[in-house]
Structure 1
């Protein structure tokens, strides 16, 4: 499984989201790809106020305050598929 984490620099919520994802990796195997929205104008326009955004297999599953249990649930659902 693959998660994309849309972030920006100097973003405390982004750091918290990354920490949550790293904790979940111990439970469910997946890769994390971190993308800075300021490096892509289309991403900046799409996500500017939503950061951080967690995307699993192309589907946004969380943004802003990332809930660990919500992400865990979605990862487990994806594992079963």
Structure 2
């Protein structure tokens, strides 16, 4: 099963949109979802602080910032 990880933080409007898009993709793809607040770990804040939201698919970064549903769908289809 694929694993989708969303790096986010509280109060991030783009992160809310990214989560909505990911949840919409649940209709077409079977995957486990995990959400990580970057403020919980210094290494996450350092790695993703300027990029959130960041979406990983099976541990590989597929999109960040303003998430494009079409491109994300394509990434899910390729895996």
Q: TM-score range by the shorter chain?
A: over 0.9
Aligned mates of 2:66, 2:24 — CA distance in 1: 15
Q: TM-score, normalised by structure 1?
A: 0.93
Give matches, 1:34-49, under 5 Å: 34-49=35-50
Aligned mates of 1:58, 1:64 — CA distance in 2: 17
Deviation at 1:58, TM superposition (A): 1.1
Deviation at 1:26, TM superposition (A): 0.3
> 2:75 is matched with which residue?
74
Helix, strand or coil for the counterpart of 1:73? Answer: helix
Q: TM-score, normalised by structure 2?
A: 0.96
Structure 1 unaligned spans of 5+: none
After the TM superposition, list the runs of 4 or more consecutive aligned residues in structure 1 that deviate by more than 2 angstroms: none
Deviation at 1:23, TM superposition (A): 0.3
Aligned mates of 2:66, 2:36 — CA distance in 1: 17
Deviation at 1:66, TM superposition (A): 0.6
Deviation at 1:74, TM superposition (A): 0.9
Aligned mates of 2:59, 2:14 — CA distance in 1: 21
